[in-house]
Structure 1
Amino acid sequence: MGGTEHLTVRREGATLILTLNRPEAKNALSLPMLVGLYDGWLEADADDRVRSIVLTGAGGAFCAGMDLKALAGKGMDGQEYRDRMTADPDLHWKAMLRHHRPRKPVVAAVEGYCVAGGTEILQGTDIRVAGESATFGLFEVKRGLFPIGGSTVRLPRQIPRTHALEMLLTGRPYSAAEAASIGLIGHVVPDGAALEKALVIAEQINACGPLAVEAVKASVYETAEMSEGDGLAAELKRGWPIFDTADAKEGSRAFAEKRAPVFRRA
């Protein structure tokens, strides 16, 4: 199981939990964190025993974005990580889910700060839970910067454009309640309970047919920008093969026999 000094990896049942682990810096992004994140996404997709992923942060924060000191050329230690970035200049975008989409569902468990790059990574996750004191926002314009992690493209597709533009153009913070009201997150829970709730959701996903879950996720993203007709045609191509799987037959048989299905990815 992978991980780095700024990214821990552990399994709980069929869920792989990736934890941003730089609490002294509110989990601001670093090279070790980015390399660990990308390796975590790859590990989850390569291991058929993993059916879901939970992304969270240590120390009561999710992610405060890029370390600005590091952006200025300081603090990004670790030659092995520099070598990884040199070998794959796109690695940081893959880590931040800008240029990579895991085939397994990703549930975000947010506590505390989830701002700038944190809010950008959030947009690459599938289901989002936050503690009631969590803070969201894209602060880049306040610093004369651009939210280049994908937010000018993704955010208006995920929430109403008026809310997306307000978040992008004002650089102001958003509470968890307001983030939920505009559709950025799906659940607000008491502080400290985000991971627990995310794991409950992950376990519900894990109980479903993995081939079906992955096909459904792929279809949602694949058809997002298609016309309705093209999307429905693409959905059939994704969906019909699922009915011919052994898992589909097992699901129907288990329902008839009033028992929990045993899915085998077959």
Structure 2
Amino acid sequence: MSDAVLVEEDGGVLVITINRPEAKNAINGDVAKGVGAALDLLDSRKDLAVGIITGAGGTFCSGMDLKGFLTGELPFTPERGFAGIVQKPPATPLIAAVEGYALAGGCEIALSADMIVASSAAKFGLPEPKRGLVAAAGGLMRLPKRIPFHIAMEMALTGDFYGTEQLAAFGLINRIAEPGKALETAKELAAKIAENAPLALAATKKIIVESAEWSTAEMWDKQGEISNPIFGSKDAQEGPRAFAEKRKPNWSGE
């Protein structure tokens, strides 16, 4: 993994940091490969229950590296798409910790996460039309599912920036942090999640994400395909046992 992406483990939480502060954490090929590799690691480890993606130097991500784009550099991976995430987010729950700007592809990375913790001073936006481009990294598809349709349409068509407080009112933000405290606040949320069983967390996320496409006739069977194996896991025995013995469970991820 290159220096463009830093990875740190913290008690069942994997913190992934886009590390190009001199370029406002713009996404180039190295970042895409690094994020993709970090998400592969997150999904492969039974002892990692949740991930956090953030940016170095007081900003989240300004989007695609336009200078790199003009020279033909490809800021995506074959497996996960733009930034190594937007077409295939991790199976493991993921929190975006946003300071400063989450613009264009940076906003789309945040929308690829399952939860967003943002500084009260953060700004979000899809300014691609101002540059003759289209927000084709998932923003136009995900945003109308997260906030009211007309607000999403305005945000996408104007290309203007929107503040944390405004977007929190529409339900897009899980926690608002003081400036400089987004990662700390995201870690607090991640720690609460990481207390739970990793297999159950991944199955819960999968059901929530995929059930949007299920018909009424198939939804119970589809849910059962995902949830039934969890009830036969070692962790499903450990949880009730720990409760009965009044102790914290020791999850094995099995």
Q: What runs of 5+ residues in structure 1 fail to find an aligned partner?
A: 77-81
- How far residue 63 of structure 1 moved from its aligned partner, in angstroms, is 0.1
Aligned to 2:43: 45
User: Are the equivalent residues in 1 in contact too, given 2:36–2:77 (CA < 8 A)?
Assistant: no
For 1:1-266, what aligned pairs fall within 5 Å after superposition?
A: 3-73=1-71, 90=78, 93=81, 95-266=83-254
Q: d(CA) in 1 for partners of 2:86 and 2:194?
A: 25
Aligned length, in residue pairs = 254
Q: d(CA) in 1 for partners of 2:33 and 2:71?
A: 17
> Is the partner of 2:218 in helix, strand or coil?
helix
> Is the partner of 1:123 in helix, strand or coil?
helix
- How far residue 121 of structure 1 moved from its aligned partner, in angstroms, is 0.8
> Is the partner of 2:252 in helix, strand or coil?
coil
User: Are the equivalent residues in 1 in contact too, given 2:33–2:84 (CA < 8 A)?
Assistant: no
TM-score, with length taken from structure 1: 0.90
User: Are the equivalent residues in 2 in contact too, given 1:131–1:189 (CA < 8 A)?
Assistant: yes
User: Are the equivalent residues in 1 in contact too, given 2:77–2:84 (CA < 8 A)?
Assistant: no
Q: d(CA) in 1 for partners of 2:80 and 2:41?
A: 16
- How far residue 101 of structure 1 moved from its aligned partner, in angstroms, is 2.3
Give a deviation string over 1:124-165, Cα, whole Å, max 9, x none.
Answer: 101110011000000001111100101221111222211111
Q: d(CA) in 2 for partners of 1:103 and 1:221?
A: 10
Aligned to 1:79: none
* CA pair 229-196 structure 1, distance change in 2 beyond 3 A: farther
One-letter amino acid of the counterpart of residue 244, structure 1: G
One-letter amino acid of the counterpart of residue 256, structure 1: A
> Is the partner of 1:133 in helix, strand or coil?
coil
Q: d(CA) in 2 for partners of 1:159 and 1:226?
A: 21
User: Which region of structure 1 is more displaced relative to structure 2, 19-28 or 41-50?
Assistant: 41-50
TM-score, with length taken from structure 2: 0.94
> Is the partner of 1:228 in helix, strand or coil?
coil
- How far residue 93 of structure 1 moved from its aligned partner, in angstroms, is 1.1
- How far residue 167 of structure 1 moved from its aligned partner, in angstroms, is 0.9
Q: Could you say what the CA RMSD is over the residues aligned between the two structures, in angstroms?
A: 1.8
Q: d(CA) in 2 for partners of 1:91 and 1:232?
A: 30
Identity of aligned residues (%): 39
Q: d(CA) in 2 for partners of 1:150 and 1:36?
A: 20
Q: d(CA) in 2 for partners of 1:156 and 1:213?
A: 25
